[in-house]
Amino acid sequence: MIDRRAAWSLERCNATCVAVSALNGIVAAGDARGNFHAARVGLESSVDAAAWKHWPLGADGTLGRACALEWLSPERIVIAHAGDGGDGAALRCLRLVDGDDEGSALRLSQSWALRVPETHLWSVASRHRSVLATGHGPTGIVGLVSVERGVMMQRWCAMRSAIWSCAWCDEHVLAVGSRTGTCQLWDTRRSTTAGSAAKWRASDAAVVGVVGIVPIDAGRRLLVSATSDSLNIWDARMGLCSSGSSSGSSSGSSSGGSRSSGSNSGPVLTLRGHTNSHLQLEPCVGPNERVVYSGGDDGRIRSWSATTGAPLHECAPVAATTQTFAGNGAPAVGLRCCGSGSGGVRGLWAATRDGVRVAGLRS
């Protein structure tokens, strides 16, 4: 359950993505100007506003907003710049360490940088901390980047429209979602061009984009969200995701979720109550993968059972003077849920246009 006694962690920042590491107790955020922010988390997921360090990585405005963050190790994190500043997209591998003196602020250095000219970058996902997958637009290109060397190892045209989301199902299979609402699985073991393993529509809506793909159960299931009210869980095993309508043949339940009746063309579980009309809102799953969390375009944070689809909790929008989740009704464009770890990092972290917000989790 979401603890409504939450607090602002980073204010007056148009946050576009957030990432939390339970290994080092650090929360990081990127904003609409491409800048990078980080802080060490205190007890009970508290972060004093003065503890945040800020690095103006997007000062020149040419690389555009920060669209994704991915922790590679306790010290290394990748930040992706979308490229909507007019000078192409870019990836940066950053190293965050404590200062020389005990209790001093975090220090930042850059391990490598990779420019991706004449394209936009929408999503990144790491595989065993060694290979980074990137989703490009508007050409539908997927790239595989060496984390150690910072070079593009492989590229292929996965779809005819922009790749808005990607995630690794296992060591070799990559799931990608497009601006036009199509999901596809790719086997990256092919030496030159990755092979398509399965393809399906994520929503029945005429114009919808897949904005979030989150693996569950070691990649056997996929939580897929779109620029609509669609929020479904699909079976990612080969042969169970086939072309066809996403609605399948399902029966509703009084709990608010619905299960597929067995048709291979539909999701195995539909989570009802999520609201979105056009925003790129990324959901997440809880530490034990039993709970799904999403932010709606109405500013509400909702949760469901990942097993039954039953709605569990909902937090209403709040006024600017009220210190409860989710803050001013600002949609959570990015959610990250972290379990117990060093530094008391457990909590639900949300990136909103008003900053970064954190809520506690109660069993």
User: What DSSP string runs through 136-190?
Assistant: EESS-EEEEEETTT--EEEEEE--SS-EEEEEESSSSEEEEEETTSEEEEEETTS
Structural domain spans, the chain:
59-337
Instruction: Judge contact between 209 and 197, C-beta under 8 A.
Output: no
Sheet holding 66-71, edge to edge: 66-71, 76-81, 89-98, 106-116
Do the beta carbons of residue 226 and residue 270 sit within 8 Å?
A: no
pLDDT single digits (tens) 49-70: 677 899 999 877 788 889 889 9
| pLDDT tens string 212-243 | 889 999 888 999 988 888 889 998 875 444 43
- The answer to whether 163 and 122 are in contact (CB under 8 A) is yes
What per-residue confidence (pLDDT) applies to 255?
42
DSSP-assigned letter for residue 61: S
Name the token pair of 124. 């990144």
- What are the tokens at 105? 């602020």
Instruction: State yes or no: pLDDT of 95 exceeds 90.
Output: yes
pLDDT tier at 144 (50, 70, 90 boundaries)?
A: very high
Indicate the average pLDDT of the chain: 77
Q: What is the architecture of the domain spanning 59-337?
A: 7 Propeller (2.130)
Distance CA(224)–CA(272), nearest Å, equals 13
Single pTM value for the model: 0.82
Reply yes or no: is the peptide bond before residue 311 cis, omega within 30 of 0. no
